[in-house]
Structure 1
Amino acid sequence: MAASAVVTNISVVTVFWGFVGIVCPYFVRRGPNRRVIQVMLMLTAASCWLFWLCTYVAQMNPLIGPKLKNRTLIWIAHKWGNVKK
Structure 2
Amino acid sequence: MQTKEELITTLKTIVKPYVQDEQAFEHVTEETDFIRDLKINSANLVDIALDVEEAYDIEIDNESMEKMLTVGAAIEIIQEKLAAK
Tell me: higher relative CO, structure 1 or 2? Use CA pairs within 8 A at least 6 residues apart: 2
- Higher relative helix content: 1
Larger radius of gyration between Structure 1 and Structure 2: 1
Note whether the superposition's TM-score is higher than 0.5.
no
* Short-chain TM bin: 0.3 to 0.5
* TM-score for the superposition, normalised by structure 1: 0.33
